[in-house]
Amino acid sequence: MRLKSYLTLAVNGLKSSLLIHYVDNAMKNHHLPEPVTAADRVLLAIQRAIVEGEIAAGSKISEPELAKRFDLSRAPLREALARLERCHLIERTPNAGARVVKLSVAGLVSLYQLRETLEGMACRLAATQMTDAEISEVQQLLDQHLSTQRVREGESYYQEAGDVDFHYRVIQGSKNPYLINILCDELYYLVRMYRVQMGMNGPRVSRAFDEHKAIINAIANRDGELAELLMRRHIGASRINIEKHLSTKGKDHGTST
């Protein structure tokens, strides 16, 4: 069962003990850091629900409703919400409370401008910092993506969070702790929110996969300049694709233009 199914059960009224069981199993299956505290566990659950769109972009956050839903006291819930705010998934407005961030063209452009620069740099560093074994693991990961999903048919290219995500692995391969903190912690789930809701299906997925292959091949050849260029082009193409998705709705996702 996919992690999305676990969270669907959770938001339909599971008590916290069962939620912990499902989240712990999901963590082991999808290579994410194991949650330790109650705040960690509810953070994971809400984070995933926002990224997947189960909690809609732009929707109001109700602390009493979430506390009841997860059978959780207000203190760990508020800690989890504060951490969600730090990773830009929710935003607070004076006298209006907290809301899930809205997916907008302006927000997309600003985020992807930064992502293009920083992930390009991560690729350049990865070309010198990744070991041959680490590069081989990423190549095998892409082979697994191709064999388990309908990438060539242009239907979907869903990547779970963490080290089964191509971008996550390349960023980790940079071995630069400041880049890793920004891209794999502070901005990672906001980027995933755009990617999952707007960019992991449709005709572009086959091209995106081929671009991933070209990037890791450049890293394997220790050509940092080419790897950086290819990643920047890849993210730029992804931005254009997601922007089209937002534009076809006639308005930004979760907000008006």
Give the pLDDT score at 31.
52
Hey, where are the domains in the chain? 3-100, 105-248
Q: Taking the domain 105-248, which CATH number applies?
A: 1.20.120.530
Q: CB of 44 within 8 A of CB of 33? A: no
pLDDT under 50: residue ranges of the chain: 1-30, 251-252, 255-257
DSSP tag of 201 = B
Tokens of 83: 């951490």
Question: Which pLDDT score, from 0 to 100, does residue 16 have?
Answer: 45
Amino acid 182: pLDDT: 96
State residue 71's pLDDT score: 80
Dihedral angle computed from the Cα positions of residues 223, 154, 2 and 10, in that order, rounded to the nearest 10 degrees: 110
pLDDT of 161: 87
Token code pair at residue 211: 């671009």
Tell which CATH architecture fits domain 3-100. Answer: Orthogonal Bundle (1.10)
